[in-house]
């Protein structure tokens, strides 16, 4: 069985940070859960790319690499713009009708969707002309055996995200900004929906198994979780404040357990989710979710912390807390905060296309965990 291990210590918009103490090679932090055994580029001599093309080549070749970002790489405008027909969802129509200075988002259509029937959000079938930057649609390819690390606050990818096309990858302390599509991970605030949406593929059939623990949502005017078909989710130890609707789920298709009673299925208790100034958060087909989740010892053997409302301070949120580049094999004794997401893919396991998080050493700080594969 071939396994794919990926560790993400990344900030997309604003991310919660967690304390780590051990540096392995050039990457700082332990590798727990789904990502145990991940080494990234190992002890390869660090590369410091200076140009966009150099960065692309280093990340996409077949050699083990440690790629250090010590500057901003601005991709905006480098691949031109596209003007074409898109659609205007009802949410944007309603937003513009308020005439209060705010503008919502129109939708980029799937290829060949001339009837506006194959793209989500186009129920109104309102065609509009849209213009977007091509760079953010064409992601940077990251191949196997790579470590990508930002130094301090300098490591920025502007206008382009990452597409992980291999295994054994570590991404740490990288700030990704100004994408057409934006996902907020770990500290999720001031959103209106799909924070996050977790759904599997229909053709070919592929399932999501996501463990979401010790995250903090606040000031969300719409819904947070949106689990869909072929998604199996365990949510525990999360804190919701000022979230109108913590979850929007299809009663038939969704499978999410919100820590009602885990012991029978997982062999351990699950810390409850705390909801303040928000609507209720309840399981949807929770038993069905746990039946799938219990197959993964990385989840059953893990002990999340209790739900915690973390303060908005530099110690908890943002990038740039990692210092200058350490030497290879250096041990970091400073307990520097970091954010982390772990992804693992196995050919015989369900596919994951979502995100979640869990704490380190029961501290209540977040770590994201997603399992990938195919049935």
Inform me whether the pLDDT recorded for 362 exceeds 70: no
Q: Distance between CA 361 and CA 18 in Å, rounded?
A: 10
Q: What are phi and psi of 138, to 5 degrees?
A: -105, 95
According to the model, what pLDDT value does residue 330 have? 32
> Which tokens hold the place of 126?
């309102």
Inform me whether the pLDDT recorded for 355 exceeds 70: no
Nearest in space to 12 (alpha carbons), one of 347, 341, 349: 341
Q: Distance between CA 189 and CA 307 in Å, rounded?
A: 16
Reduced 3-state DSSP string for 101-131:
CCCCCCECCCCCCCCCCCCCCCCCCCEEEEE
- CATH for 3-76+139-180+319-337, options being 3.40.50.1220, 3.40.718.10, 3.30.230.10, 2.160.20.10: 2.160.20.10
Q: What percent of the chain has pLDDT over 90?
A: 23
Query: For the segment 163-203, what is each residue's pLDDT rounded down to a tens digit?
Result: 888 889 998 888 888 764 322 235 566 767 777 777 776 65
Q: Distance between CA 95 and CA 91 in Å, rounded?
A: 6
Q: What are phi and psi of 133, to 5 degrees?
A: -80, 130
Query: For the segment 126-148, what is each residue's pLDDT rounded down to a tens digit?
Result: 999 998 889 988 889 999 999 99
Spatial CB neighbours of 91, under 8 Å, sequence gap ≥ 6? 104, 121, 192
Give the CA angle between residues 298, 224, 162 to the nearest 5°. 65
Query: For the segment 299-353, what is each residue's pLDDT rounded down to a tens digit?
Result: 888 888 888 876 655 455 556 654 443 333 232 222 233 333 333 333 322 222 2
Going from N- to C-terminal start, the domains of the chain cover 3-76+139-180+319-337, 80-137
Q: What is the pTM of this model?
A: 0.56
Query: For the segment 55-68, what is each residue's pLDDT rounded down to a tens digit?
Result: 999 999 999 999 99
Query: For the segment 74-117, what is each residue's pLDDT rounded down to a tens digit?
Result: 999 999 999 999 999 888 888 888 888 777 788 889 888 889 88
């Amino acid at each position: 069985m071939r396994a794919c291990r990926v560790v993400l210590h990344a900030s997309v918009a604003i991310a919660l940070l967690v304390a780590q103490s051990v540096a392995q090679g050039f990457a700082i932090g332990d590798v727990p859960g789904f990502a145990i055994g991940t080494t990234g580029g190992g002890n390869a001599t660090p590369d410091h790319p200076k140009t966009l093309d150099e960065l692309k080549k280093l990340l996409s070749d077949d050699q083990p690499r440690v790629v250090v970002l010590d500057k901003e790489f601005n991709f905006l405008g480098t691949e031109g713009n596209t003007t074409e027909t898109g659609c205007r969802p009802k949410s944007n129509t309603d937003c513009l009708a308020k005439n209060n200075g705010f503008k919502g988002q129109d939708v980029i259509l799937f290829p060949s969707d001339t009837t506006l029937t194959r793209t989500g959000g186009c129920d109104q079938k309102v065609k509009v002309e849209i213009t977007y930057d091509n760079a953010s649609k064409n992601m940077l390819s990251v191949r196997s055996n790579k470590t990508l690390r930002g130094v301090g606050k300098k490591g920025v990818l502007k206008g382009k995200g990452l597409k992980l096309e291999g295994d054994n990858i570590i991404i740490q302390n990288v700030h990704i900004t100004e994408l057409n599509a934006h996902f907020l991970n770990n500290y999720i605030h001031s959103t209106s929906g799909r924070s996050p949406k977790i759904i599997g593929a229909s053709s070919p059939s592929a399932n999501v198994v996501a463990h979401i623990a010790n995250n903090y949502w606040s000031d969300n005017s719409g819904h947070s979780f949106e689990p869909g078909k072929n998604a199996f989710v365990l949510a525990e130890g999360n804190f919701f404040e000022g979230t109108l609707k913590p979850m929007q789920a299809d009663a038939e298709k969704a499978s999410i357990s919100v820590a009602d009673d885990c012991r029978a299925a997982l062999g351990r208790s699950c810390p409850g989710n705390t909801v303040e100034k928000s609507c209720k958060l309840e399981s949807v087909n929770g038993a069905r979710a746990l039946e799938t989740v219990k197959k993964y010892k990385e989840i059953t053997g893990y002990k999340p912390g209790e739900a915690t409302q973390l303060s908005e301070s530099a110690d908890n949120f943002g990038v740039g807390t990692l210092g200058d580049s350490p030497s290879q094999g250096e041990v970091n004794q400073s307990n520097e905060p970091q954010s982390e997401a772990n992804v693992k893919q196995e050919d015989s396991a369900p596919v994951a296309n979502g995100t979640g998080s869990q704490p380190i050493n029961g501290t209540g700080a977040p770590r994201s965990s997603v399992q990938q594969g195919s049935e």
